[in-house]
Structure 1
Amino acid sequence: MTSRCFRRVAGKGICILAVAASVLAASPAPSDAEPSRALPAPVAAGEAPKATSETAVLAGGCFWGVQGVFQHVAGVTGAVSGYAGGDKTTAHYTVVGRGDTGHAEAVRISFDPAKISYGKILQIFFSVVHDPTELDRQGPDTGRQYRSAIFPQSDEQAHIARAYLTQLDAAAVFPAPIATTLEPGKSFFPAESYHQDFLERNPDHPYIVYNDLPKIAALKRLFPALYREKPALVSGSGERAM
């Protein structure tokens, strides 16, 4: 069950976080949790790109922040929040929130492999987006739907992801074992429209300010050559390609 405190805005269907000021004041500053360096890049490399577009599906906690980070990555042409790991019939926010559907909140990332590799996508995922050592949770959110997971879209992606997990474990770059699961053969289902571009549409939302804006800052600091100021928005109001 999620630990986020939500209420529905009448007629809007928008999730609003109810956070007490005292809780925020007692918690460590987001900057304290930022990684000090980028993790090593994957050693395993894929074949030379044959297509102009590729798709990655990743889950690393609440999809608002995962989508928001990748929308600011150069070479990414789109990022859509959604659900992966379960059936189409249960791919709905209120149902997934029960934690028993098999779904994880995930993001489908479309990118130009000539500009950014799948391996680099994974490097950003582990360096900036989330803490892969947290089992069935991420930050304030708890439940199987917030697990760390990679959903390979091809055998090549599965090979690169598996090799990278082995590489990171062997290098002991984290203080605890990596809990990320590798789940091939799972379909992705887009989330409800009110979840799309949530970070960009709600930059002052308490959850976004505390949990996700530091990730954007870390992306800019650790991967300056890959940071893009204008996001690739689902709505199309942002810059679509770079």
Structure 2
Amino acid sequence: MEQLHYIKTDIESDIATIEFFHPKSNSFPSTQLNELIRIFDELGANDKVKIIILKSAGDKVFSAGASFDELLTIDEFEKGKKFFMGFANVILAMRRCPKFIVGCITGKIVGGGVGLTAACDYALAESNSAARLSELSIGIGPFVIEPAITRKIGITAFSEMTMNPTEWKSPEWLKEKGIFNHVYPTIEECEKASLDFAKNLSVYSLDAMRDLKSIFWQGTDHLPELMKSRAEMSGRLVLSDFTKETLMKFKSN
């Protein structure tokens, strides 16, 4: 029997851990993205939480991005725009959350998963955490997640990823460019380091950390409107003959 997807939260000693899971490579259907938004907003307002750790279950894929099954159901522009705003709204929730978000990245990351990682304030990964932005290969692009990624790695490295959509970028490359802060040999070491780092941060002033986070995201007040226009790009392209034909090939394989 296939395990049901979930998002669960645990709070212990000022540290909240969010763990998500989906049997299809930790991809996100819209319902799960909406739940993640609610949790970030809730934890942001919780005075008992000073630091948030974001992680996924399993060891192969941290996140494959948006749900491919849901992508296949898009048959009109407004539905497409709403679908692509999913990860945009999660990134915006991470941006407005006043608590530091520490990413514990175990396994490969694709598409929206890269955006989620880049939106973390600090990211620790393990040695199998390669990444790629595969959207161009199906006739769209990583439009809504681009601002979060470019904010960390710059437009040159972003274009390198987008123009090579089938190429995996190594954890070392991702660390060099600025998506990862540290890379550890094993999942166990990565998880321990993430918790230790969160514990070290949790003794500091929440007010000071909140002000620091506002500096990390300075110059991004335009993101809500920008992401809407980017979602419209994807909403149009996903209805193109090229994308429809490519998606049908994937579905039949």
| Band the TM-score falls in, shorter-chain normalisation | under 0.3
Scaled by the length of structure 2, the TM-score of the pair is 0.26
